[in-house]
Each structure stands twice: as structure tokens, then as C-alpha cells.
């Protein structure tokens, strides 16, 4: 849609009184200077022009190669053109890209998928070779390439634009974790493992180069940004330490245990909640999740030592049993729900007022009535990660987005 019609109001609008927002609507578009309401009416009612009616694909031709130069000059070229994450890269020479392509049976010109920095932006498509270029830049090896291709096939960018500052998470399950020597144990979330590091960084670079995103002030509008975007949260699940009955994540969502799968999640971040020693872990979880806005997803990263205690001492035979308990016992009052949370005010209440259940019924309850903080059990995720040196956990607001078979891309 080459003539897509936009109307702008001043920002920010989060936390701004309704009376001020009304003045924005009654005022002028800060970009065009025209009255906002008149622009909206015109956008909805003016006839489409011939240009507006055109269909087809947007061509974005780019040269396959840049002219040869010194390594220093080429590093500067990539940096100045915004093709990196601001850190040094491995230059993607033809020889290096050809070597990377040995990591898959798929042809270089095969289209892998499409990606866009946010829903209003046009999605860009990309080939196996273009993904290989980013894999080389990140420092990956051919054995890592099927994971990177599977990740690219989801079409999920690691840098997704909003006026808030989102982060992403990728979780690898199945045999490939050990084949490429990923670390799910001590220091799994730190800069200590080659595979964890390059896979996470490849996702960032793809999100910069393959969808036109991550241009601050243009296609990225997160006010503060998010430090997790450098490498995202990249981890394999520690499947080996899961007790009997506790399935790894990919099995929970329907894959076979011997399949290799990459899954994506989105949120803002994690905290390490305080622990009351001597009290059962499961009774503390509702307090750990209090910082999460009602009806946002919840993610618990638990050291295997905690998971084994949850089963052996506290009687939770499976992840699903614990998730069900968390859903039923992590609550807020209706008053807290209605008055104190940005996401509820902006996203949940409008649907409740349209009669969507259970939100419509919850609006009619007494203000001191308790309702689930997390809307449904499927929004609660528990992952095993860590090396057992401490009873350590992290709680976050990451929700599940998608999964893809890695074996398909070998």
C-alpha cells in the first residue's frame, strides 16, 4: 500500500491524563500540522487513487557483493550503513558464506521466510544465502546453521518495535543442543559458551539486516531500549536434569522428544525475586510473579535443584501440575486489576466492555474479589536451566510466540 494513510498525535501517551489525550485529538497532527480529526475522516472516506490501487510485491534490489577493499574499510562500511549491532563482526566473504552453506541441504536461493519490525511495517523476505551472511557475521559455524535457519523461518524478529522496549528469548530443545555443545548448566545465560553466544547474536543481526528494522527513531521506537537485544536470551533447556514426569518444553507443545526444536518468546525482562528460606518453593511463586502485569504471560527459569525439590518434597509430579497450581493461586483483586495496570487499561478493559468473557464478568465483581493474575494456564511457562550450584531462579514476563523444527533445515 504505497499511499498508506497515517495520522499522528504527540507522544508519549502512556500515563497521560485522558483530558490531555483529548486535547491531542482535538489538536493538530505534529507532522503535517493538519487537524487530527479531519485527517482521520479524510483517510477513511477519500477515494483511493490509481497509485493506491496498485498490487504486487515491493522490489528491494540490492547488490549481492560490495566492492573489494581493505578489511578495515569494509568493517567501517558495514558499521556506517547500520548493518551491524555496533560491535565488530566477521566479514562475510564469499568463501565464508559458501562454507556456512555446507551446514544445510537447502539451496542458497530458497526463500526461508518473511520478517517485519512491527505489524504496520512491510514484511521483507530473505533467502538461505542471506541468512548465511548473517550467521557468518555473528561468528557462527556450519553446524550452527540449521538452528539459525529454523529461527529465521519463524519470521519472529528479535528486535520488535514499540514505544516500550521489548526483548526476545530463544530456547533450543532436542539432541542438537549437545551436538553443537550448547550450555544449559552453570552460566548458561552468561557469555561463557560459544554456541549460545553466536546463535543469540545471529538473531539480532538478522533483525537488523533482513527486515529494515532496528533503526532508532525510524523503525525502532523503544524509549530506553533493552540491553537483552544484543544477544537476546539464548539458552537450551536442561532436559537431562528434568525429573521423570517433567517434560521439556518442545514435548509440552507437541513435538517428539528426539526432535530438535527452537522456540521463541517475547517480553521485557527478568528479576531474581527474594526467597524466604524454609518455606516451600511453590508457596513463594505467587509473590515472585507480583511484578508482572495482570494477564501478561509469566516465565519461570528454575535451576534443576529447585525442580527436583518441587517434585520430591512438594509433590508436583509434572510441570503441568505446578502450572495449574500457579494459575489458581496467583491472584489480584478486581480493584488492582481495574485501577493500577497500564496493560489492563489499554488492552483488556476495551474487550471487557464489549462483553468478552471472563473479563466482562470480572468487571461486575466486588472490588475486593480475587481473580487470576495470569489469564490462563497456557500463559505460564517453566524452563529448566542452571548447573545446580545454588537454588536459583528468575521470573519474567516472557510469553510464547512460535516454534520451528531444526531438523527440517539440516
What is 10-64 written as a DSSP string?
-S--TT--HHHHHHHHHSB-TTT-SBHHHHHHHHHHSPPPTTTT--SPPP----S
Q: How far, in Å, CA of 146 to CA of 259, rounded?
A: 13
Q: What is the dihedral of CA 226, 228, 232, 236, to 10 degrees?
A: -150
| pLDDT number for residue 56 | 79
**E strand segments, 228-358:** 233-236, 261-267, 270-271, 298-302, 331-333
Measured CA to CA, the distance from residue 225 to residue 90 in angstroms comes to 25
Structure confidence at residue 341 (pLDDT): 59
* pLDDT for 252: 97
Cell 551446514 identifies what position? 103
CB neighbour list of residue 96: distance below 8 Å, 6 or more residues apart: 90, 136
| DSSP code of residue 213 | -
pLDDT for the residue 385: 98
CA 105 from centre of chain: 28
DSSP state of 66: P
Is 111 strand, coil or helix?
A: strand
**Full-model pTM:** 0.92
Q: What is the pLDDT along the chain (410 residues), one digit of tens a residue?
A: 667 788 999 988 877 888 998 999 999 999 999 999 999 999 999 998 888 888 877 777 888 999 999 999 999 999 999 999 999 999 999 999 999 999 999 999 999 999 999 888 888 999 999 999 999 999 999 999 999 999 999 999 999 988 889 999 999 999 999 999 999 999 999 999 999 999 999 999 999 999 988 889 888 989 999 999 999 999 999 999 999 999 999 999 999 999 999 999 999 999 887 777 778 989 999 988 988 877 789 999 999 999 999 999 999 999 999 999 999 999 989 888 877 656 677 777 888 888 988 888 988 899 999 999 998 899 999 999 999 998 889 999 999 999 999 999 99
* Buried b or exposed e, range 251-278, using 16+ CB within 10 angstroms: bbeebeeebbbbbbbbbbbbeebeeeee
**pLDDT value of residue 359:** 84
Task: Please state the three-class secondary structure of 342-356 as a single string.
Answer: HHHHHHHHHHHHCCC
Task: Write down the pLDDT at residue 120.
Answer: 80
Residue 343, pLDDT score:
67
**What is the pLDDT at residue 74?**
97
* pLDDT of the residue at 340: 61
Rounded to an integer, what is the distance from CA 120 to the centroid of its chain?
A: 17
Radius of gyration of the chain (CA): 24
Angle at 217 between CA 54 and CA 37, to 5 degrees: 60
C-alpha–C-alpha distance, residues 94 and 101, integer Å: 11
Nearest alpha carbon to residue 267 among 312, 308, 301, 240: 301
Measured in whole angstroms, the distance separating CA 370 from the mean position of its chain's CA atoms is 30
Amino acid at each position: 500500500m504505497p499511499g498508506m494513510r497515517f495520522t499522528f498525535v504527540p507522544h508519549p501517551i502512556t500515563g497521560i491524563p485522558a483530558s490531555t489525550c483529548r486535547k491531542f485529538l482535538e489538536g493538530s497532527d505534529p507532522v503535517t500540522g493538519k487537524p487530527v480529526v479531519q485527517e482521520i475522516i479524510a483517510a477513511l472516506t477519500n477515494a483511493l487513487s490509481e497509485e493506491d490501487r496498485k498490487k504486487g510485491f515491493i522490489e528491494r534490489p540490492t547488490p549481492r557483493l560490495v566492492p573489494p577493499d581493505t578489511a578495515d574499510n569494509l568493517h567501517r562500511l558495514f558499521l556506517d550503513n547500520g548493518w551491524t549491532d555496533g560491535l565488530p563482526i566477521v566479514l562475510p566473504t564469499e568463501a565464508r558464506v559458501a562454507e556456512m552453506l555446507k551446514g544445510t541441504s537447502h539451496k542458497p536461493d530458497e526463500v526461508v521466510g518473511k520478517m517485519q519490525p512491527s505489524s504496520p511495517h512491510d514484511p521483507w523476505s530473505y533467502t538461505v544465502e542471506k541468512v548465511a551472511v548473517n550467521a557468518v557475521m555473528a561468528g557462527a559455524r556450519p553446524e550452527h546453521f540449521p538452528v539459525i535457519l529454523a529461527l529465521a523461518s519463524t519470521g519472529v524478529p528479535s528486535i520488535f518495535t514499540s514505544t516500550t522496549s521489548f526483548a526476545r528469548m530463544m530456547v533450543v530443545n532436542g539432541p542438537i543442543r549437545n551436538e553443537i555443545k550448547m550450555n544449559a548448566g552453570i552460566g548458561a545465560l552468561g557469555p561463557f559458551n560459544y554456541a549460545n553466544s553466536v546463535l543469540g547474536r545471529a538473531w539480532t543481526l538478522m533483525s537488523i539486516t533482513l527486515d529494515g528494522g532496528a533503526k532508532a527513531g525510524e523503525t525502532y521506537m523503544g524509549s530506553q531500549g533493552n540491553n537483552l537485544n544484543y544477544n537476546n536470551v539464548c539458552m537450551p533447556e536442561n532436559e537431562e536434569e528434568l525429573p521423570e514426569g517433567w517434560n521439556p518444553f518442545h514435548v509440552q507443545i507437541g513435538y517428539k522428544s528426539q526432535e530438535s526444536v527452537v522456540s521463541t518468546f517475547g517480553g521485557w525482562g527478568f528479576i531474581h525475586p527474594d526467597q524466604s528460606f524454609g518455606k516451600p518453593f511453590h508457596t513463594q511463586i505467587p509473590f515472585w510473579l507480583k511484578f508482572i502485569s495482570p494477564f501478561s504471560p509469566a516465565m519461570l527459569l528454575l535451576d534443576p535443584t529447585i525442580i527436583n525439590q518441587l517434585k520430591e518434597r512438594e509433590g508436583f509430579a509434572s510441570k503441568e501440575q505446578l502450572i495449574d497450581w500457579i494459575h489458581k493461586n496467583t491472584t489480584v483483586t478486581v480493584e488492582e486489576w481495574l485501577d493500577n495496570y497500564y496493560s489492563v487499561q489499554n488492552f483488556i478493559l476495551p474487550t471487557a466492555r464489549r462483553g468478552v468473557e471472563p473479563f466482562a464478568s470480572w468487571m461486575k465483581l466486588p472490588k475486593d474479589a480475587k481473580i487470576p493474575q495470569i489469564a490462563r494456564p497456557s500463559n505460564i511457562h517453566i524452563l529448566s536451566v542452571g548447573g545446580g550450584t545454588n537454588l536459583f531462579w528468575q521470573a519474567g514476563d516472557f510469553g510464547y510466540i512460535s516454534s520451528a523444527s531444526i531438523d527440517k533445515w539440516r
